[in-house]
Amino acid sequence: MAKSPEEEHPTKAFGWAATDPSGALSPFKFSRRATGEKDVRFKVLYCGICHSDLHMVKNEWGSSTYPLVPGHEIVGIVTEVGSKVEKFKVGDKVGVGCMVGACHSCDSCADDLENYCPKIILTYGATYYDGTTTHGGYSDVMIAEERYVVRFPDNLPLDAGAPLLCAGITVYSPLQHFGFTKPGMHIGVVGLGGLGHVAVKFAKAFGVKVTVISTSPSKKKEATEHLGADSFLVSRDPDQMQAAMGTMDGIIDTVSAVHPLFPLIGLLKSHGKLVMVGAPDRPLELPIFPLLMGRKIVAGSCIGGMKETQEMIDFAGKHNITADVEVISIDYVNTAMERLRKADVRYRFVIDIGNTLKAA
């Protein structure tokens, strides 16, 4: 007979979980494994709320199992390390992002791209090596193998830094991989939400010209004055879009809703690249002719490997890049999920786990 979540492992843990596709989160007792020789255990202080969490608690992607403890933007302070841990010690500021395991033998793992391993183990709602279910950061304690733990620079605040573990690496990796970091380049960012606002900050830190592309004219002041974008395009304004055709070297598209790609491809110069990092729940229509006329590319990118994630956090520390966050208590989490569904957040909710999560 299968053990209950509370009895699976020796260390008691407490968090909030969804128990069915309604997505409602409530207090939940479970357990974490004992600290292995390569493991890092830490007290969770903050956890960001990613749009993926909303999809997963409601089983909108069809892969959720319950009970489900979400959260993959997890930060805190190390309380214990295994005997073979080399990079961390008790008291260090650390984080865990979207994954906690992989096969470590495939080409992707060998290239420090564990995120593309076919046997990737996600931080929550997945099956770990020992057959138990992984639980995320809406909880008081976290444990992960050293390889999947990121060190936080001392100057990077944990609350506003937490979302970088998902949103940050999701935009940093394609900026790097597709060469969108050369000063003087012109890069577009589609959508000014949790991903988009961080993409603007990273791109500006690389020294490139940034244009925000949005359906909302009301976001122009925010994009240019607060976030430092060089220009702003209203994608529903045909005159603005026509004037900007053929001006961009690359575009990072962060939008998760179904939207037309044809106007975006038109903004690219010849050999330009449109990189999708949002995840619409239905297929998009891909016009081929405008790709042919200019040898343009439509690509995708998903988070990043652990080596690159550490590089991203170090870069953020050096350039003082953080997410714009609204810090909330754990008992506000269901309201926050409803607000997130309506895009009523600037730009990322972060749960104050350390001060507000109390075991019953």
Per-residue model confidence as pLDDT tens digits over 304-350? 999 999 999 999 999 999 999 999 999 999 999 999 999 999 999 99
pLDDT of res. 4? 86
pTM: 0.96
Both 160 and 244 in one domain: the answer is no
Residue 310 lies in a domain: no
Q: Vertex 237, ends 249 and 264: CA angle to 5°? A: 30
Both 32 and 154 in one domain: the answer is yes
Both 254 and 288 in one domain: the answer is yes
pLDDT of res. 1? 56
Residue 49's DSSP bridge partners are: 349
From 114, 132, 116, 138, select the one nearest 8 (Cα to Cα).
132
What would the mean pLDDT of 49-73 be, rounded to a whole number? Answer: 95
CATH of residue 29's domain is 3.90.180.10
Which among 284, 300, 316 is the end of a domain? 300
Residue 317 lies in a domain: no
Asked whether the predicted pLDDT for residue 116 surpasses 90, the reply is yes
User: Alpha helix (H) ranges present in the chain?
Assistant: 51-57, 107-110, 158-161, 167-177, 194-206, 220-221, 238-243, 262-267, 289-292, 306-319, 333-341, 353-356
Q: In the chain, helix, strand, coil percent, each to 5? A: 30, 25, 45
Per the CB < 8 A criterion, the answer to whether 168 and 323 are in contact is yes
pLDDT of res. 360? 63
Distance CA 87, CA 103 (A): 21
Q: Give the rounded percent of residues in the chain with a pLDDT score beyond 90.
A: 94
- Distant-in-sequence, close-in-space partners of 26: CB < 8 Å, separation ≥ 6: 16, 17, 19
Residue 119 lies in a domain: yes
Distance CA 41, CA 38 (A): 10
Residue 76's DSSP bridge partners are: 44, 94
CATH of residue 289's domain is 3.40.50.720
Take residue 133 and report the two structure tokens written for it.
């279910």
Residue 2 lies in a domain: no
* Omega of the bond leading into 124 within 30 degrees of 0 (cis): no
Residue 305 lies in a domain: no
Residue span of the structural domain in which 118 resides: 11-166+324-356
- The total number of structural domains in the chain stands at 2
Cβ neighbours around 297 below 10 Å, total: 15
Both 209 and 344 in one domain: the answer is no
Residue 307 lies in a domain: no
Residue 202 lies in a domain: yes
